[in-house]
Chain A
């Protein structure tokens, strides 16, 4: 194949001159209309066939090609009176401000001009050294900005001494000198007289863009295929918005011409001229500030040139940056615990649309024929022959295609169970936002996933949608399978903690199962173990019951030895049996999780994945069996607990009152580095924190394991003791963002009018002694709302800010990779680190290393 060897070095944008516009246009348009009565494009009209054709079958009158191959040709409208290009009016204003209207030179004399040229040259030179090339233009822009500012404020021409007069610019296209309105042709004449050299000082390359070209006298009309007309079902033709706008321009242009020829009074001419200017302004940008947008007959604003390009739905972001991907699918996600961690349930409708290439070889051609014969799922949808021709398989040509099938062909086969796919949820913030899953074709309309993999995707099932991609060659499939499978992503590259784990109900279930003195009947044990795929019962105790710990032991590898702490107590596995301890979030959930690290390190990722999958099913089944639920019952307090609450608060208030009294009597011993008042405040806060912690302890003491909320908090699956405390005992201190107590409100130094001015006791400064169950007093509710609002606002600001910070960081680092010699380099082979991290340690394995060390120590 011939290679294109030319390389584009740079692109320069300039302004279109009337001469260029004339020379690149193929037709001068004169009729402000589209079709004649016969429905045929009018010659010299806006759909003149010289500008190309859109109806299939017709030939372009310029190049003779059909609609598909004709690139389209420009036409032009000769304006009888020029109009200002509104998008450039700021530039025009700048030039008018900087030049003399008498001598048509820059307002500066030669000396000053030379001075500025020197400054510019110097800036240009300096910038080359510091930054490579790109900084140059910036520095020049900085230098010229200063000069432009000076020019703007000059009152008088340094050359001929002419006063500049009061120049006023009124958006979008009006210019006044001492209240006289400059007409576009007058502005054009002024601009035309400025020399190229003077323009260079202003930063304008006159060879590419003469300023007078900013005033339009020849309007270039885009080809028909840029603004195609569509035929409605009723047979009616509907024109593109651009065509509508161009019709408007031509109509006014024609009327202006007729009036000029008829010698109409100036006022009428000016009105029409202004109308022409309006149409041209809105033709370029229908969202130009301070003028009403041009509207369609229906009242909808027209979508003109700027609107086509601009914004999220514009050409750049929508069509160019946002291309659509083949072999992909998107739908709502939902859970299915029976789908493995490295699987994804694919709806049948999607599986029958997506295809996987099947490479025909001498060894599988029989299988290929067999596949090709099929007329229902899983079938071949396309055959790509060796020469790259793609043929759709239909009932009519199937026989023929089977006959022609040869080694080297590629069949496109419908997606089947076990095919490698990539599964993705946006925003793709880190590498585990895209992982490879094996397809599992299911009925229904949603993608099904295991809930253990929700954490890396940050997915939930309240309507989240996810994307699925099918890698289209063996290399991609292999890479996806061996690098991107969830089992290889269980440990985070951030710190080596497990990120793919069981959670919530899964932890509750395991906790309940492995609790001390928890026994299952034979039926229950058989049911639970059958779900795990274990068909051997462990030893029963003397009552014929099976301990939950034994059931859990059936899920872990034989002969495993391990110990750590779980829920503040030892957790010991000896010879493959859980002999002591309860499974909690410390051993089973996300975060610093030694059990999973042990499994991954000693038994491999596949065994770990199996453990997660099987145990999550077991935990689910068990929690369903037990029925964990939360209701009002969880939050009713016993008499004893209520008494305890009152006592605790009473004690604290007494202590605090004493502190305050001491303070008033100046007897308080200040803390080191704090004033007396600050010390008091800190002591009060410390007391209030203490009472909160003590309330939590009391709560744990008095609440039984019957209480589901407490059980969930204990296992770490959901909620904390603090949450329950707030519901059954008291809400505690409501803090402000700065961490202090709430104190702002009235100038009399009180938060609410219900409070005595200057009161600094807990209740007056946002300590809420009531709980959700008992109900909040209005003042308490207010304090609570202050705290809630603070944290809500903080959260919103924090996520927005930190999200963007992270994005910038990850984008800046995305090219860095660890080389085969363990050096870190970017895409240009620039060295960042000689040895990765200084020690070649991959953070994923840090937990492995720690565990290893621990085990060696014994």
Chain B
């Protein structure tokens, strides 16, 4: 059965490497607490088996435009 997350409207999610995360925090001068959150139990986080403390990079699309979005994985 096709999964919900395969739908074309669901943007691509990926777990960021620790190095990339560090760089992200540095460029934006933030800590993990300042990022938008995503539950560990979220369909996408589950699929990637992301653990709390990790950061997901989401490739959002709006028409032709594409831009990254970041979410910190949290408990729950």
Residues of A within 8 A of B (CB): 129, 821, 823, 825, 828-835, 838-839
Contact = CB atoms under 8 A, between A and B. Distances in A.
A489 B36 CA distance: 32
Nearest to A840: B67
B67 A834 contact: yes
Contact of B30 (A129, A829, A835, A839): A829
Contacts of A823: 28
Contacts of B29: 829
A832 B69 CA distance: 9
B20 to A, nearest CB: 13
Given A831-B30, A838-B62, A129 B69 contact: no
B67 to A, nearest CB: 4
14 contacts: A129-B75, A825-B34, A828-B34, A829-B30, A830-B34, A830-B35, A831-B35, A832-B36, A834-B69, A834-B70, A838-B60, A838-B65, A838-B67, A839-B65
Given A832-B36, A834-B68, 10 more contacts: A129-B75, A821-B28, A829-B30, A830-B33, A831-B30, A834-B28, A835-B68, A838-B67, A839-B62, A839-B67
List the 9 closest A-B pairs by CB distance, nearest first. Answer: A838-B67, A830-B34, A839-B65, A835-B67, A831-B34, A838-B62, A829-B34, A838-B65, A831-B35
Interface in B49-68: 60, 62, 65, 67-68
A823 B70 CA distance: 12
Contacts of A839: 62, 65, 67
Contacts of B65: 838-839
A818 to B, nearest CB: 13
Nearest to B29: A829
A835 B65 CA distance: 12
Nearest to A825: B34
A838 B69 CA distance: 9
Contacts, number: 33
A825 B35 CA distance: 10
A229 to B, nearest CB: 57
Interface in B12-51: 28-30, 33-36
A200 to B, nearest CB: 31
A839 B33 CA distance: 24
A834 B28 CA distance: 9
Contacts of A834: 28, 67-70
B31 to A, nearest CB: 9
Nearest to A823: B28
Contacts of A829: 29-30, 34
Contact of B36 (A129, A828, A831): A831
B32 to A, nearest CB: 11
A833 B69 contact: yes
A151 B60 CA distance: 55
Contact of A831 (B60, B62, B67, B70): B70
A830 B35 CA distance: 6
Nearest to B33: A830
A129 B75 CA distance: 9
A526 to B, nearest CB: 53
A838 B66 CA distance: 7
Nearest to A826: B34
Nearest to B67: A838
Given A838-B65, A838-B67, A839-B67, A831 B28 contact: yes
B69 to A, nearest CB: 6
A390 B68 CA distance: 57
Contacts of A129: 75
Contacts of A828: 34
A833 B70 CA distance: 8
Contacts of B68: 834-835
A823 to B, nearest CB: 6
Contacts of B67: 834-835, 838-839
A821 B27 CA distance: 10
Nearest to B69: A834
A708 B32 CA distance: 66
A129 B29 CA distance: 26
A64 B27 CA distance: 63
A295 to B, nearest CB: 59
A834 B56 CA distance: 13
A831 B33 CA distance: 9
Contacts of A825: 34
Contacts of B36: 831-832
A177 to B, nearest CB: 50
Contacts of B30: 829, 831
Contacts of B60: 838
Contacts of A838: 60, 62, 65, 67
Contacts of A821: 28
A686 B65 CA distance: 41
A91 to B, nearest CB: 37
Contacts of A832: 36
Contacts of B70: 831, 834
A226 B60 CA distance: 62
A821 B29 CA distance: 11
